[in-house]
Amino acid sequence: MGENVNKKISLLELFLTFFRINAITFGGGYT
């Protein structure tokens, strides 16, 4: 179970990082 949660967090972090890069690249940041 612990490993699964860890994997989920890792995936979420990866997704957030990817989204941030996308926003900076295409939108110049959504802030």
pLDDT in tens, 11-22: 999 999 998 888
Contact 23/29 with Cβ under 8 angstroms? Answer: yes
In angstroms, the CA 6 to CA 26 distance is 30
How many other β-carbons are positioned within 10 Å of the β-carbon of residue 23?
13
Please name the residue that has the structure tokens 């890792």.
Answer: 10
**Percentage above 70 pLDDT, the chain:** 81
Contact 19/11 with Cβ under 8 angstroms? Answer: no
pLDDT range class, residue 3, cuts 50, 70, 90: confident
